[in-house]
Structure 1
Amino acid sequence: MSSRKPVPPLILWLTALTAAAPVLVVAAVAATRFGGVSLAVAYDLLTWTVARGLGWVALAAAVAVGVLALRDLRRRGVFALIALALAGGTVGVFQFQAYRLAQPNPRDVSTNVGEAPRFNALADLHPGAADVQGAPACPGAQAVPSQMLAQQAVSALVDAGFPVARAATFEVEGVHEGAWFGFPYDAVVRIRPGRTDVRVVARDPRPDGGAACRLTAKIVANLEAQR
């Protein structure tokens, strides 16, 4: 008969606890995208309140696993490594994202602040441009000094993750949904002689961590690549 003792159930339970926060976030994403659960519940409550709190609980559990593992590192050490990796990674991601969301990033970005492109098909969602910002708040928000073709604008939007909502000779609009919770962003590309401008606006009022700026820069880069 083997003389090896089984791993204590407490270590197994504490290690499993360190995975609770990521699992809850995935469940919240699924509930939002496929279950129709509101962002107030899935994002604000389940993710940023419950899961974030669980992350700190998991970190304490991981430390406890590490202490218990000291008695038999050969058999228990792997559980300590898994627990610390899961808990540390979870807390690290939440802290990093919280820092990004705390930055004063604009949610209405344009390559032409003085005369921002206006929406047509999506005009009811964005009737004005009072809060529009560009460079230097968003360094990538630079106008393309060329009259692009509508087909090129369509390609630039699609490649940036914006399915086209409306395409005309001198104006193309698209809608983007975030990969996780599906936060929507609307974009318009305006084409004029010698200049093509881009505008991206977040529909949701929550801080976006600079997503509008990054999406604008991506569309501009796609247009520049076609010049």
Structure 2
Amino acid sequence: MPSRKPVPAVLPWLTALAAAPLVLIVAAVAATRFGGLDVATAHDLLTWTVARALAWVGLAAALAAAVLALRDLRGRGLYAAAALVLAGVTVAGFERQAAQFRRDTPRDVSSNPGEPPAFSRLAAFHRGPAPTAAEACPAARSIPTQVLAQQAASALVDAGFPVVRASTFEVEGVHEGAWFGFAHDAVVRIRPGRTDIRVAARDRTRPDGGATCRLAAELAAALERNAR
């Protein structure tokens, strides 16, 4: 019975190189959330510059590992498979996110852009231009009824916006992204026969890949459910 060929010493290192971008991203996120590292360093430099470039290096390493594994798939195939999966997922993830970032998506949307709800407690974060026209985000829709403040607060929480201020006719909440903590603020304005919403990103300098509109859609859907 032929003996199994030894695993080349370089093969584990090629697999580790394919995994390196993911490790760096996790470290950058952890440093931002728990270590006080600023977003410009963690997100812009470590993730979108270093890790993104390293992802392509990792893909090349994974292809090299696959070539080495062809001589002994039983003994080396696991390394090659792991490297290809890690590198493929990382590169695909970066390219997908980059495509979303290239889209011109609104970062301040309202169901009533002509008379948008105004932030109160969170006003200091939103002194820029008025919200984008409703056509840019049709999902940011009004609710054709006067909901209760408790229903508005519940809808905000359901959509991922913990409440920071509540009154009879207006409720505000803040959503923090799970990765780098990018904040979106929301306000629900209650009037007779109509409830309007507004969702705005605090950071207007970076593209959000449509996150503002998606959050507005989730808030509108939660309000509709709670108003039934």
Report the TM range for the smaller structure's normalisation. over 0.9
Q: 2-side partners of 1:67 and 1:4: how far apart?
A: 17
Tell me the residue number matched to 1:173.
Answer: 172
Report SS of the residue matched to 1:19. Answer: helix
Question: In the TM superposition, what whole-angstrom CA distance separates every residue of 1:75-114 from its partner, at most 9, and x where no partner exists?
Answer: 1112111111100110000000000011000000111110
Tell me the residue number matched to 1:158.
Answer: 157
**Mapped pair 1:16 → 2:35:** no
Unpaired segments ≥5 residues, structure 2:
none
TM-aligned CA deviation for residue 160 of structure 1: 1.0
RMSD: 1.2
After superposing on structure 2, the runs of 4+ consecutive aligned residues of structure 1 that deviate more than 3 Å are 2-5
Q: 1-side partners of 2:54 and 2:124: how far apart?
A: 40
TM-aligned CA deviation for residue 174 of structure 1: 0.6
Report SS of the residue matched to 1:124. Answer: helix
Report SS of the residue matched to 2:113. Answer: coil
Tell me the residue number matched to 2:219.
Answer: 219
TM-aligned CA deviation for residue 36 of structure 1: 0.6
8 Å Cα contact 2:5-2:72 kept in structure 1: no
Q: What letter is aligned with 1:106?
A: P
Tell me the residue number matched to 1:188.
Answer: 187
Q: Share of identical aligned residues, percent?
A: 66
Aligned length: 225
Q: 2-side partners of 1:7 and 1:64: how far apart?
A: 14
Question: In the TM superposition, what whole-angstrom CA distance separates every residue of 1:102-151 from its partner, at most 9, and x where no partner exists?
Answer: 100000011111001001111122135x3412432112111111100000
**Mapped pair 1:90 → 2:96:** no
Report SS of the residue matched to 2:125. Answer: coil
TM-aligned CA deviation for residue 201 of structure 1: 0.7
Give the alignment's TM-score, normalised by structure 1.
0.96
Tell me the residue number matched to 1:109.
Answer: 109
Mapping for residues 4-83 of structure 1, pairs under 5 Å: 4-83=4-83
Unpaired segments ≥5 residues, structure 1:
none
Question: In the TM superposition, what whole-angstrom CA distance separates every residue of 1:145-200 from its partner, at most 9, and x where no partner exists?
Answer: 11000000000001111111100000000111000000011110000011101101
